[in-house]
Amino acid sequence: MTRLRTTAPLLLAAGLAALAVATVHDAGCADPGRYEARGDGTWSLDGGCVDPGDLVIPPPPVVQPPAPSPEQSRS
């Protein structure tokens, strides 16, 4: 029973790793892209299979002005 408890997680991890490799291999992307350093110290991804039109950018949230606080009566 102890051997099963030791090897089961390792077998599961190996299976998930093989599944990840197969998924990436079958993604159908001939150019995986590459990161290139820019002059300002940042990096950019050049190439790859993602076009800018593929990215969905949600609209900015609408900020409601705060509701006026109810005036308290002074008695």
Tens-digit pLDDT profile for residues 24-74: 887 777 787 889 999 999 998 888 887 778 888 899 999 988 888 777 656
pTM over 0.75: no
CA atoms of 28 and 18, how far apart (whole Å)? 17
Q: How many residues does the chain have?
A: 75
The torsion region of residue 47 among left (phi > 0), alpha (psi -120 to 50) and beta comes to left
Who contacts 28 (Cβ-Cβ below 8 Å, separation ≥6)? 49
Which residues are CB-contacts of 33 (< 8 A; sequence separation ≥ 6)?
Answer: 45, 46, 47, 48, 49, 50
Residue 22 has pLDDT above 80, yes or no: yes
